[in-house]
A = this chain, B = another copy of it.
């Protein structure tokens, strides 16, 4: 990825987590590729495919779950041309509890400019190394 693309992808990744933390479904919809190509695997869940299914999962999560705080660490960006993938750790603070979710987000650059999430996979870190 070029330096400019990397900066734009980091901004898109930050916008994704800002929407997540704010439980803002409209903001989440703006950062996603809202086509049938959207794929999302929440920690421990089966994979969801297509924006309708993915959107519904965010709606349910935002309606039901406690407010989470995210601290993103170990963010790495890689890519070629209009595709980039970010790997990072979501360090979650939920009241007194904490946990880590290891995560990969694939972004595609829309021909109109913005990078959009097309694939999100979060997996629970269950063991230390």
Please list the residues of chain A having a beta carbon within 8 angstroms of any beta carbon in chain B.
37, 39, 41, 43-47, 49, 74, 76, 78-83, 85, 87, 89, 100, 102, 104, 106, 108, 118-119, 121-129
Contacts and interface: CB of A to CB of B under 8 A. Distances in A.
Top 3 closest A-B pairs, CB basis? A123-B123, A44-B126, A83-B83
A37 B1 CA distance: 12
B46 A104 contact: no
Contact of A79 (B45, B83, B102): B83
A127 B129 CA distance: 24
Count this chain's copies in the assembly: 2
B46 A100 contact: yes
A44 B124 contact: yes
A123 B104 CA distance: 11
Contacts of A41: 87, 102, 104, 123
Q: Which of A43, A49, A106, A118 has the most CB of B within 10 A?
A: A106
A39 to B, nearest CB: 5
Contact of A44 (B39, B108, B125): B125
Contacts of A46: 89, 100, 102, 125, 128-129
Contacts of A119: 78, 85, 87, 104
